[in-house]
Amino acid sequence: MIRAVLIDLGKTILTNEYINFIDGLKAIYDLDTSKDKVSFDEYVRVYNNIKKITFDYRKYTHSEIRIGDILKTINDICLINVNDNVNLEEVFLYNFIKENLEKNVYEFLKFCKDNNIYVIGVSNSSITSSSLKKELSDFKVLDYFNDVISSADIYICKPRKEIFSYGISKVLKLDNSIKNNEIIFVGNDYNIDMMGSFNCEIRPFWYNVADQEDCYNVCEYIFNDYLKLIDYIKKENNI
């Protein structure tokens, strides 16, 4: 019986069609319209220096950085004036990345909602969950999520156990009768999502559109179309 789904966002729910940090930085830089501000090249140079001691170490420590904090620091160093009411994180988000919904993911989310299966997003992102929720709302799918977790909320990334445990705790707050073997984790990244959930004893379901190999034979189910996942859950849950 599958009663809850923990699911990755990037390249699992959303396509991540185009990513360019420089476009995000330019959008923030342009918020200051003064003529005597530092050059954009200098602004990028400061970002790159900060990146070396923050984002570049993220993959080794599996700890998270909040892009909003980084942007504020760069603005302070470069004396870039931005109205305090402006949400730097959201401005950056809507300029550095172009996304769409993965094929048939809407049908999957609706299926879960219609069949009382909880869905909680669990994303490795320097963007906090409040902004991720706004993006999901723009795609008209937020109402199909019971909650959304970003690594930026807790400063810890997958595949560390703490973020998976946090996801489970969110499920149990919804219904404390749900057991671990009734929770699945759906993600696209083998090492982060599949190995991470397997090591936390959550059932790994691999959204594998690139047809990669399950090297360590950890995945319970491998699929490349959400309609197939719907059929799998229907059979297990006798729907």
Query: 4-17+99-237: what fold?
Result: Rossmann fold (3.40.50)
pLDDT-based confidence at residue 17 (cuts at 50, 70, 90)? confident
Q: Do strands 18-19 and 97-98 pair parallel, antiparallel, or not at all (unpaired)?
A: antiparallel
Average pLDDT over residues 161-187: 98
Please tell me whether residue 35 adopts helix, strand or coil conformation. Answer: coil
Return d(Cα 42, Cα 115) in angstroms, integer. Answer: 53
Task: Provide, rounded to the nearest whole percent, the portion of the chain with pLDDT above 90.
Answer: 94
Q: Which H or E run contains 105?
A: helix 105-114
Return d(Cα 207, Cα 156) in angstroms, integer. Answer: 23
pLDDT at 16: 86
pLDDT at 231: 98
Average pLDDT over residues 47-59: 90
Q: Which H or E run contains 92?
A: helix 88-96
pLDDT, one tens digit per residue, over 84-129 is 999 999 999 999 999 999 999 999 999 999 999 999 999 999 999 9
**Which has more pLDDT, 30 or 52?**
30
Return d(Cα 222, Cα 141) in angstroms, integer. Answer: 24
Q: Where are the domains of the chain?
A: 4-17+99-237, 18-97
- Indicate the pTM of the whole model: 0.96
Sorted by sequence, the CB contacts under 8 Å of residue 169 that are 6+ apart come out as none
Q: Is the pLDDT of residue 59 over 90?
A: no
